[in-house]
Structure 1
Amino acid sequence: MMIRLIGYFIAFVVFVTSVVWLNNNPGFVEFDWFGYHIKSSMGLFIAAIVILVVVCVLVWRLVRGIMGAPDAFGLFFSSRRRKKGYEALSKGIIAVGSGDVKTAQKFARLAAEKLDDEPLTLLLKAQTAQLEGDKDQTHKAFEKMIEQDATKMIGLRGLFMEAQRNEDGGAAKMIALDAVAHDGQSKWALNGLFDMQTAEGDWGGALNSLLMIGRLQGTNVAETKRKRAVLLTAEAMNIEASNAERALELALEARTHAPELVPATVLAAKLLLAKGSLRKAHKLLEKCWRLAPHPELGALFAAQKDAEKPNIWLKRVQTFALKAGVGHADMAARGAVEAAVMVARVAIEQSDWSAARKALESIVVDDPSARVCTLMAKIEQGELGNRGLVAEWLARAQRAPGDPVWLADGHIAVTWAPISAVTGELDAYEWKVPDYNLAQVEADMAANILLEHHESELQALESQEKAQQQAHEQAIVAVKQEAEIEIAKIAEEKAEKPAKDEPSNEGNSGSGSGGVELVVAKKSADEPVKTVEVVAEKIEKIDFQPADASPQKSGDKKSNGLKKVSKSPYSSQPITEGDDKVALPHRPDDPGLPADDKDPGADGYYSN
């Protein structure tokens, strides 16, 4: 705005200066044109020229506007269409973010109609298909995005994430390689490829990917060095048996990137000791012992040399133990425990019980770990042979806090590994004390297994009872169907018999014919009743046994389905219902028979 005002001001100054100059320098312009003699002042002539130029410009613009009117109208409607398309695209993306499937579908279709060549419409379509759970449409949308350079990386990332969701590692790796080839600075592609290479144990490929990741802007240099050290250590462990020299080079290089990495130092020290480079191996162990005291470092250093005297051996170990965690306050407590345990073990091996007890006395006062309690039990056994104290220390070891272990994602490993056995994450194992009691975890797991077994048994019993109940019901239905069929047959026979007997009945006369009809009707009426009784007997004979009951043994006498026999809890005599006599139970607190005029029979029954 300021620049425009300055421009206007300069133009005004030029105009005023020109007017003043023309006024101070008057003159005339005279010329003949088409037989006319024209004479005018210089100022009027210049004004006429300016007006003529302005008119020509206006006429030119008018003609150009008329000639370009169709294109202008097309551009107007096209811009209006694109405006509506971008509005639909914006609303569709908002709907996807809020999880509104129907609204996202509506605006995705509208955006695709209004914006023909807009790459973002494919992205909205893919996101809407993901929200619907339509994997085929999602895959197709991402593949269309790959065809355009502007959206190729977005499409590749979408396909990469879909492959990971489907647990298709091969396809995901190929997509990541394609993305890295297209854009070597793509952080997601490099990180995804790196994670898959480490999970597969492709340490060489992972080192190359890590080198490319290290060149990206904003990368954590310390984290990259640590990961490189872990990868070099993993590669060294992989070729230790086949190429010891190369393994030693890789382990030493790993130490330059992460001197505190215990597995790299342990591997390098082992290989140096195998070569006979004792002094160099001890120097490596001492440097790492100061940074991160660990039992494996102490065990390698505490190994007795050839022809080394016991007292010199113990003194060498004691000197090395004093350097644990020196200069690092966060490692002081851990270093004190590891140093005491290392000295105690060497002293126990030499049967120097006093030196072993002295080494542990500073850490026994506080809450000792299971490892320390076990060492104290060995000392009591070796020095005094006191079984009571040995049992006491072993019992304390069962209840004592745990010792540090290699722990990653809840998984405890005997030896260090470069990746987690659970998630495949690089450098996941840490040397620390678990946050839970292993004994209690095992007990809880055993209890859960027993509970699941008990629940499965109950479910099996319930399903067995349901199956038997269904079989019983099906048997009853089958019997009833048979009874209905038999009743239907009797009804048909009843309908057919009068038709057959009509000729003979016509010859009879008087009361004789009436008597015959009465007999036939009575017989036919009794037959359905007998059939129903037969059905009832069949239903009563169906033996239904519950799943938890033992099979019943039938005796010689069978029930006719009209009588129920049971026993009283106070009498050995049966109670028979449906007969002419009923047994009266004799209770222990009953003083005698109730006052009644009727006299009991010989068997203790009252007559009805």
Structure 2
Amino acid sequence: MIGLLWRFLLLALVAAGIAWLADRPGTLTIRWLGHEIEMSAIAGITVVAVAVIFIWFLWSLFRRLWRSPQAVQRYLYGRKTNKGRDSLSRGIIAAGAGDAAAAARYAALAGNALPDEPLVNVLAAQAAQLKGDRAAVKRIFEAMTKSPETEALGLRGLFAEARQSGDVAAARRHAERALSLNPRLAWAAAAVLQLQAAARDWQAASATLARQIKSGAVPQADANRKLAALTAAEALALEDDDRASALELALKAHKLDPALVPAAALAARLLSAQASGRKAARIIKESWRLSPHPDLAEAQAYLFPGDGPEVRYERVQDLLKDEAGGVEGAVALARAAVKAKRWPAARTALAPYIEARPQARICALMAQIEDAEGDKGRAREWLARAINAPRDPIWVSDGVASPRWTPVSPVSGEIVPCEWKAPFEMPDIPDMQDPELSPPAAEAPAPELPPPAPAKPDAPELVSPQRPPDDPGLPEDFDQPPRGSTPR
């Protein structure tokens, strides 16, 4: 609309100028080389205007002829560029479809037409990967690392090739170089962190994770949990060699994630060794409320080395005053009572968990209680039930059970701390040892059990039933003295 108004205004000005000249007639005389030419003012102005237009036309024609070689060159270059881009597009489509021959052909055409185009190298690398030419793939990615524009892309390709070929050192080197170029590269940060954790370089992994947290690459919800796991792993690695640093790291991990059992248990053990039992007890109770675990109960029992079973039993009772801890609390209290030879107290602690299908550790404790009270038959029954009982909880990460806690998944290598749970979910199979579910005696009379064989003087009376090959077995003896001066 504004352009139309400007055109209308210009036309009005021209018309006004012509009208002004028409109202003022005059004669224009030109004398040149003995000749004299007379004409009206309007005719003179018209001749001047036509001459200007003619001169402009001649200049434009000359300029076009002068620039024609460059124009032809630009035309040919544009045609070649369009052909190269078309080949590049077709090659990317062919590579995505898995057509190695077509991708290689289009990559060659695009390379001839677009020698400086970075995507040509990407297409050539994809074509070489489809053909299985790993040497060519590596050569292309190495060439890409020499250009600042494609260095990060080349490093990622070299990292993928090194990881696929099993060269962990080269993969880590490429990922660290890419991360130094751009700290916000998510793949580089994740790869470096994963490789450092797999190598158990906990200090370097913690530093890498801290940089990721600072750059915002890791969600804040997971940041503290992952950093606490790495810090706890570093503390556990230093427990034997540098207890002061181990304690500092354990307290830091506990502050980041109070529910992390290994950090709390380690801090409690080290504080107990320094005669700081009260501080250790506060840490144990804080973690017990969030994550009841046998290691915490054991650390509570051995807060002060040298105490007898009775004192350890009372100390475990004190831990369960504010938070019972469910089945973990019952098992911990029963173990302490068994060691203190308080058989009724141990039976009372386990009573809520023996009705349905108790875990194997509960069956073993009940067998020990029955045997101590003189009922050998019931003890054997409990040991028999332990064979088919639900699995005891153990440290599990990504479905893989481990006797020790680890911050790294054995499947993916990611920072996925172990969880304390059963190795797998078992179907709810009725327990035929339960009297209420057993068949009537008239239909299936129970066979007479042979009398128990006398125990050898040097052998224990009870023998734990053999577990399946993949079963972690029953827990270690609760009263086993800890390594050094404090329990593990």
TM-score range, shorter chain: 0.7 to 0.9
> 1:134-176: CA deviations, max 9, x gaps?
1111111112222222222111111111111111111112222
Distance 2:166 2:185 in 1: 22
Aligned to 2:419: 430
Greater percentage in helix: 1
Cα 1:6/1:308, change in 2 over 3 Å: same
Note the aligned Cα RMSD (angstroms).
2.9
Pairing of 1:182-581 with structure 2 (within 5 A) = 182-217=181-216, 219-303=218-302, 305=304, 314=313, 316-324=315-323, 335-382=325-372, 384-409=373-398, 411-420=400-409, 424-435=413-424, 439=467
Indicate if the aligned counterparts of 2:259 and 2:291 stay in contact, CA closer than 8 A: yes
Indicate if the aligned counterparts of 2:272 and 2:303 stay in contact, CA closer than 8 A: no
Q: How far did residue 99 of structure 1 move?
A: 0.9
Q: How far did residue 244 of structure 1 move?
A: 1.6
Identity of aligned residues (%): 36
How many residues are paired up? 428
Aligned to 1:8: 4
Q: How far did residue 8 of structure 1 move?
A: 2.9
Pairing of 1:40-55 with structure 2 (within 5 A) = 40=40, 53-55=52-54
Pairing of 1:164-179 with structure 2 (within 5 A) = 164-179=163-178
Indicate if the aligned counterparts of 1:295 and 1:338 stay in contact, CA closer than 8 A: yes
> 1:373-424: CA deviations, max 9, x gaps?
1111122122x31001111111111111011101235543322123345654
Amino acid at match of 1:12: F
Indicate if the aligned counterparts of 2:196 and 2:205 stay in contact, CA closer than 8 A: yes
Indicate if the aligned counterparts of 2:28 and 2:40 stay in contact, CA closer than 8 A: no
SS for the counterpart of 1:150 is coil
Q: Give yes or no for the alignment of 1:115 onto 2:104.
A: no
Cα 1:201/1:46, change in 2 over 3 Å: farther
Normalised to the residue count of structure 1, the TM-score between the two structures is 0.65
Indicate if the aligned counterparts of 2:300 and 2:315 stay in contact, CA closer than 8 A: no
Q: How far did residue 49 of structure 1 move?
A: 6.0
Q: How far did residue 92 of structure 1 move?
A: 0.9
Structure with more relative contact order (C-alpha pairs < 8 Å, separation 6 or more): 2
> 1:321-341: CA deviations, max 9, x gaps?
24338xxxxxxxxx3101111
> 1:531-589: CA deviations, max 9, x gaps?
xxxxxxxxxxxxxxxxxxxxxxxxxxxxxxxxxxxxxxxxxxxxxxxxxxxxxxxxxxx
Distance 1:442 1:315 in 2: 35
Cα 1:306/1:210, change in 2 over 3 Å: closer
Aligned to 2:105: 106
Q: How far did residue 91 of structure 1 move?
A: 0.9
Q: How far did residue 305 of structure 1 move?
A: 4.6
SS for the counterpart of 1:215 is helix
Q: How far did residue 440 of structure 1 move?
A: 5.1
Indicate if the aligned counterparts of 2:28 and 2:44 stay in contact, CA closer than 8 A: no
Gaps of 5+ in 1: 326-334, 444-608
Amino acid at match of 1:365: E
Pairing of 1:581-596 with structure 2 (within 5 A) = none
> 1:457-500: CA deviations, max 9, x gaps?
xxxxxxxxxxxxxxxxxxxxxxxxxxxxxxxxxxxxxxxxxxxx
SS for the counterpart of 1:241 is coil
Distance 2:184 2:25 in 1: 74
Indicate if the aligned counterparts of 2:272 and 2:304 stay in contact, CA closer than 8 A: no
Indicate if the aligned counterparts of 1:30 and 1:37 stay in contact, CA closer than 8 A: no
Gaps of 5+ in 2: 427-465, 472-488
> 1:88-126: CA deviations, max 9, x gaps?
111111111111122112212221222222221111111
Q: Give yes or no for the alignment of 1:130 onto 2:120.
A: no
Q: How far did residue 37 of structure 1 move?
A: 6.5
Amino acid at match of 2:331: V
Distance 1:248 1:137 in 2: 52
Cα 1:256/1:56, change in 2 over 3 Å: farther
Indicate if the aligned counterparts of 1:302 and 1:342 stay in contact, CA closer than 8 A: no
Q: How far did residue 83 of structure 1 move?
A: 0.8
SS for the counterpart of 2:149 is helix
Q: How far did residue 313 of structure 1 move?
A: 5.9
Distance 1:213 1:14 in 2: 64
Amino acid at match of 2:397: A
Distance 1:279 1:124 in 2: 66
Cα 1:268/1:27, change in 2 over 3 Å: farther
Amino acid at match of 1:147: K
